[in-house]
Structures are given as C-alpha cells and as structure tokens.
Amino acid sequence: MKIFIAFLVLIPLYLKAQDVDASDILFLKIQELESEIASLRSELESQGHFIEKLLSEDKEQKENFSNNDITSSESDTYRFEGINDSKSIDEVYDEGIAHLNQKEYKNAKQSFNYLADNFDDKEKIPLSLFWLGEISLLESNLEESEQFFQRLAANFPDHWRTPLAHKKIGDILMMSGELSAAKIKYQYVVQSFPENSASSLALQLLENME
C-alpha cells in the first residue's frame, strides 16, 4: 500500500519534469530560430557587400555569354514597347550596373525599373528584376523586394538567377516571421534546383530550422 501511495505521489513530479523538458526544448528551438532570423538580418545589413559579389557573378556570366558568339540584329537590340528612345537595352542595363558599382542605389533602381518596364529582353529583364529586388532588400522594403523576386520567378522560370530569387523569397518570409512559409520555400529550392548554389544555401537554413 505504501508503495502504491509513493507511486501516486511520484507521478505528478514525473509529469512535471516531462513538461519542463518539453519547455526547455521549445525554448531552445525558439532561440535557434531567433538566431537564424538575426543571421538573415545581418545578411541584410551587409547587403552592399553581397551585391558586390553578385555583380562579379553577373560580369562572369556576361563574359561567358559573349564568348559564345551569340549576336542579335539591331532591331532585336532596340526591341521595346511603345517608347521611342535612343538608348539600347545594353546601355540602360550597363548604366544601372555602373550606379550599383558606385553604390548609387536610387539611380540604379531608376535605370533597372525603366528597363524592366519598357524593354523586351529574356536576359536583361530578369537581371534587372533581380537587382531591383536586391536594392529593395537593401532599403529594408521587404514587401517590394518580394514582389520583384516573385515577378522574376513567375515570368522567367528558366533564368539562371531564378533559383536565388526563390531562396531570397524564403529569406524575406523568414525575416517577416513567416517561418512555416519560409521552410516550404527553402524545401522547394532544394528539390527544384539541386545543382544550384542557392540549393546549398537553402539546405543549410533548413538544417538550422530543424
């Protein structure tokens, strides 16, 4: 009988200990997620450096494209809708890149917006949308940044910057506190673009969220 009474006394203590362990685990998980969000915000703060790295990749991609001896007619170069402008697609894009290199983000944004809204080019339009997303992220305008990345991903699903655009959308969701949506987006990147560097970044974030 004494053993039975002791057992009844110990049950609440055991259950309480279990609750404490569960609370500790939950607290640790929350701390890990907060740390991950802080890391993403740190990435946002160092966005200027990240843009420089992306500019280098963009330059390499442009050189590779030129080495393939792919040419277009003058009519293709000046193909845009409803605007009589003397500037070519390349000139407007290079103007935006020059502003980016000088960290003149407002002017860069104007050039890329002008290009994205008025010209028709399967390479420069998605790149312009990507840079617009990056600049908006630099300005902490998460909603606008997501819109640019979404536009790139939806309209140019096969472009080489699209995987990173999807990953960036995941980052924005994470920064906005939408952890479940961010996890789904990162999983999409890993599954859809396994050979892309964006997949490695997304996978690392997913592991930190476990």
Residue 118: Cβ within 10 Å count: 16
Tell me the per-residue pLDDT of 18-34, one tens digit each, with 9 for 90 and over: 554 556 666 566 666 66
- Name residue, tokens 């096969």: 158
Q: Which tokens in the block code for residue 98?
A: 């020059």
Token pair of 207 as six digits? 């592991």
- In CATH, 47-209 is 1.25.40.10: yes
pLDDT digits (tens, 9 = 90+) for 45-62: 555 566 766 777 676 666
Residues 6+ apart with CB under 8 A from 25: none
In this prediction, what percent of the chain has a pLDDT beyond 70? 61
Mean pLDDT of the chain: 78
More confident residue, 22 or 3: 22
Amino acid at 31: Q
Q: Which two tokens stand for residue 76?
A: 């293709």
pLDDT at 33: 64
Q: What is the pLDDT of residue 40?
A: 65
Question: Who has greater pLDDT, 108 or 5?
Answer: 108
State pTM to two decimals. Answer: 0.70
Residue-wise pLDDT tens digits, 150-209: 999 999 999 999 999 999 999 999 999 999 999 999 999 999 999 999 999 999 999 988
